[in-house]
Structure 1
């Protein structure tokens, strides 16, 4: 957290499924942005992104309920409807009406899931290589991830998987974000259902502008296939494939993401 800009306010928002930790970072006026991290991560993963985003908007960063972080899950989350329920209750508790949502990986799925199941509640979606949204999880990713969920998985194997997901980048044990994600995979046991991929009809039903930035070197899905699906089904979609990006796109291209999202919000979304 010390690597992030100063937090202006911290919230612990009660919901039907537990208490959600949210941080507010004040930026210029306009409709605020809610950030949703990927699996096994929490708010500090946005350290590189926040300075650029805060040049354009006020940002709320949430630790997803049921993931590593300072949110506290108190009831089982049974499926996609429960995910949308607690998320909507969190927005109500923050008195946020129609924010922009930005999510990476599983956080992208969570943003899309909320928009699918709660029409009219979000102003736009910015999805950074979202998992299980426009294409299924790649079979090789499924095979690689199975041992990661087993307590006591060898440290060497876990680090290999994290390096593979990040496009081969070596993990710096002194980098706090890398250490955070490494700890999330090692020390936290997930008790959540596997996200269900959206149907074609659900994607067609999305009533908000969607900016989908897909990583050309992603190992979680076929980026080209995902882009074809998104372009075909999203009523108001802007879909880009960034050829050199890995699934760690948010940390690889923070400046470009902030600039592209700001333009998108100004051109295609109210406020």
Structure 2
């Protein structure tokens, strides 16, 4: 849709992500007000260092205000990006220069996560997140979109696509939750490492994400800063039934890491191939839960 009427704010404004009041809702997300402020300040720095033209958008929803970072030509096909747990729009900074050349990209900060959106966390086993995304798309004047999503964002993209299949033109998922079962064997070790403070958080982050090279240090630093103080969701993510997955008749791309210790990637790949036979599935043999370096693969899928 052309001439979208977006409520925009200048990307040069340093206070677009304002500190939220320290109340009960924020206490569900962070261990301390000081930690919450540190995470938000880091997010502001990342946005202020954004390297391509971007618009900062705040839209009203039934769950509170939602922050969206928009890049790319206004009249280009729209793509909505949904990050993973503990993330925000800055997670896409390595991909966006490529994708925004061809698409109008909307990096949505998921509610209840350490971004610029409301701290609301409605139950996952409800239609609340689909209704929230309805509000976001309506505020952005979008009828139908492609969605690129990762991990928790992948679950939310699947939830939306199975409830609103006519509104999703393409679906690109990286390590999506909700298909293969969650694995918990890593959790006792993670709880033990917590006793060692920030150093323990770094060891846990390496273990869980699979990020353990000099090239991934910046991504790992972001994760450590966030998860030193951030409280991730603890409820299990609902698993989509075979019948739900069969609703996905739009083009689908699924990328998983064979060494993911958080999700059963083999089961994810098997179920997608069985229930969505037209889908493209890539299993990356030496990759864990954090999937990087797939910019060109996703772009080719979106442009096909």
Q: TM-score, normalised by structure 2?
A: 0.76
Cα distance in 1 for partners of 2:109, 2:205 equals: 20
Q: Displacement, 1:109?
A: 1.1
Aligned to 1:121: 167
Checking the alignment, whether the CA contact within 8 Å between 2:73 and 2:104 is kept in structure 1 is: yes
Give CA deviations for 1:41-86 in whole Å, capped at 9, x if unaligned.
1111111111221232221101110011110135x50224111111
Counterpart of 1:154 in 2: which secondary structure?
helix
Q: 2:142 aligns with which of 69, 76, 96?
A: 96
Q: 1:144 to 1:70 in 2, by over 3 A?
A: farther
- Runs of 5+ unmatched residues, structure 1: none
Is it true that 1:200 corresponds to 2:246 in the alignment? no
Q: 1:216 aligns with which of 253, 258, 272?
A: 258
Q: Displacement, 1:120?
A: 1.0
Counterpart of 1:217 in 2: which secondary structure?
coil
Q: Displacement, 1:191?
A: 5.7
Cα distance in 1 for partners of 2:235, 2:159 equals: 14
Aligned to 2:95: 49
Q: Displacement, 1:3?
A: 4.1
Is it true that 1:108 corresponds to 2:154 in the alignment? yes
Q: Displacement, 1:263?
A: 2.4
Aligned to 2:133: 87
Aligned to 1:160: 203
180-189 vs 228-237, greater mean Cα deviation: 180-189
Cα distance in 1 for partners of 2:236, 2:226 equals: 17
Counterpart of 2:168 in 1: which secondary structure?
coil
Cα distance in 2 for partners of 1:153, 1:78 equals: 32
- Runs of 5+ unmatched residues, structure 2: 1-46
Q: 1:29 to 1:144 in 2, by over 3 A?
A: farther
Q: CA RMSD in A?
A: 2.6
212-221 vs 33-42, greater mean Cα deviation: 212-221
Cα distance in 2 for partners of 1:85, 1:19 equals: 14
Q: 1:243 to 1:10 in 2, by over 3 A?
A: same
Q: TM-score, normalised by structure 1?
A: 0.84
Checking the alignment, whether the CA contact within 8 Å between 1:34 and 1:102 is kept in structure 2 is: yes
Is it true that 1:260 corresponds to 2:300 in the alignment? no
Give CA deviations for 1:6-60 in whole Å, capped at 9, x if unaligned.
3431111111111110011114854221111110111111111112212322211
Cα distance in 2 for partners of 1:141, 1:95 equals: 43
Counterpart of 2:223 in 1: which secondary structure?
helix
Give matches, 1:166-181, under 5 Å.
166-169=209-212, 175=218, 177-181=219-223
Q: 2:69 aligns with which of 23, 42, 45?
A: 23
Cα distance in 1 for partners of 2:66, 2:180 equals: 29
Aligned to 1:138: 183
Q: 1:145 to 1:137 in 2, by over 3 A?
A: farther
Counterpart of 2:166 in 1: which secondary structure?
coil
